[in-house]
Amino acid sequence: MNIFVINSGSSSIKYQLFKIPSEKPVCSGLLERIGLSESTITHKVFIDNEEKVIKKRLTLPTHEAGLLEVAALLTDKNTGVIKEPEDIEVVGHRVVHGGETFAATAVINDAVKEEIKRLFPLAPLHNPANYTGIEVAEKIFTKAVQVAVFDTAFHQAMPEKAFRYAIPQSFYKDLRIRAYGFHGTSHKYVSQRAAEYLHNPKARIITIHLGNGCSMAAVDGGKSIDTSMGFGPLSGLVMGTRSGDIDPSVIFHLVDEVGYELDKVKALLNKQSGMQGLTGFSDMRDISKAIAEGDREAEMAYEMYAYRIKKYIGAYTAVLNGLDAIVFTAGVGENDENVRKRACANLDFLGIKLDDERNKVPSSGLKEISTENSPVKILVIPTNEELEIAQQCYELLSK
């Protein structure tokens, strides 16, 4: 089954084409700066296990113009992987927010599209862009079944005691204010891989997604029972530019006593805080370099970042009533050995014992970095949200 996966952003489109059940993409790509000057396309084709990279600089005024260029690349007579756009059988769309309506992947129809639009206020930076991707794909891949895979769906298994906030009930019943959680596609993918590795479908697993955005999930027998992000993607861990957990009194103080407008507070906590606010850098590679050069503020920020992860490990181990594995994933989780080392330090009493040498060895696939006698397995598993989306589409349509 030819499944084309699209992740549509406000000025970008990431994509991969899979011939499921094969897990290897036949092509992938990224369109950037859509609607801006000098847009770019980076298109990668995998032919006979060899990667061919095609790069273009051009003007792409709209998402439709961008996806038409992609369709041309997919059907190119020399490097194309399909004969015509009609060969695409399914288009799988990443949709960030599914609210309480979508606890699973859904075939897109008019009702689904209206619900995605209704949820725009809950994810104003993402859902409108995801919706645009759907409308454009419907025009270009006319014979394909369009399918939505929601970031929030995996966390819909959380019990009410975990997702409710201690505010008047009307705010939940009338306004649906509750914790939804995000990065669900990633948490689902790596927790499944971990359970397969452990040969234990009932495994109790903490998944730790560390990119520019960061979140953790407590997964019990394949179901998310708690997660660190909430109503929006601001709460929980220290992130690249987001503050993570902060006392709401700080917001009141900034507004009432310092004179901040709410828009300024919003920008502060979402775009100017986290590691960016603490160090001047949002990229962990830059922060690691600053630490090596003796920057004390960078060192403290690194400690805060790892400390917050450790606090959630303790909390989620309690929620799960024990632990079988911890999984690190995403850009920082997969590549920063020092973050993993600091986050797991001094947790022996929980059965978490990291092997320093294993932790240092680079790997492009799943690797175990716990000691031989560690009761809890510590794993690094590269996330693959596009593959997870393709597989969920396949499972839905193969029933």
Q: Residue ranges of the domains in the chain?
A: 2-150, 200-385
Q: Is 138 annotated in some ligand binding site? A: no
What is the rounded distance in angstroms from the CA atom of residue 230 to the CA atom of residue 246?
13
Place of tokens 């716990």: 370
Choosing among 3.20.20.70, 3.30.2040.10, 3.30.420.40, 1.20.1250.20, the CATH entry for 200-385 is 3.30.420.40
What is the rounded distance in angstroms from the CA atom of residue 150 to the CA atom of residue 385?
11
Q: Identical fold at 2-150 and 200-385?
A: yes
Name the fold adopted by 2-150: Nucleotidyltransferase; domain 5 (3.30.420)
Token pair in block for residue 2: 């030819």
Question: Integer distance in angstroms from the first to the last C-alpha of the chain?
Answer: 14
Among 151, 220, 226, 324, which one carries the catalytic annotation?
151
pTM above 0.95, yes or no: no
**Per-residue exposure over 115-127, b if at least 16 CB sit within 10 Å of its own CB, e if not:** bbeebeebbeebb
- 10 Å CB burial of residue 19 (0-12, 13-18, 19+) is middle
Tens of pLDDT, residue by residue, the chain (399 residues): 999 999 888 788 899 999 999 999 999 999 988 888 788 999 999 877 788 999 999 889 988 899 999 999 999 988 899 999 999 999 999 999 999 999 999 999 999 999 999 998 888 878 888 999 999 999 999 999 999 999 999 999 999 999 999 999 999 999 999 999 999 999 999 999 999 999 999 999 999 999 989 999 999 999 999 999 999 889 999 999 999 999 999 999 999 999 999 999 999 999 999 999 999 998 898 999 999 999 999 999 999 999 999 999 999 999 999 999 999 999 999 999 999 999 999 999 999 999 999 999 988 899 999 999 999 999 999 999 999 999 999 999 987
Q: Is 296 annotated in some ligand binding site? A: no
Q: Is 385 annotated in some ligand binding site? A: yes
Q: Is 151 a catalytic residue?
A: yes
Q: Is 293 annotated in some ligand binding site? A: no
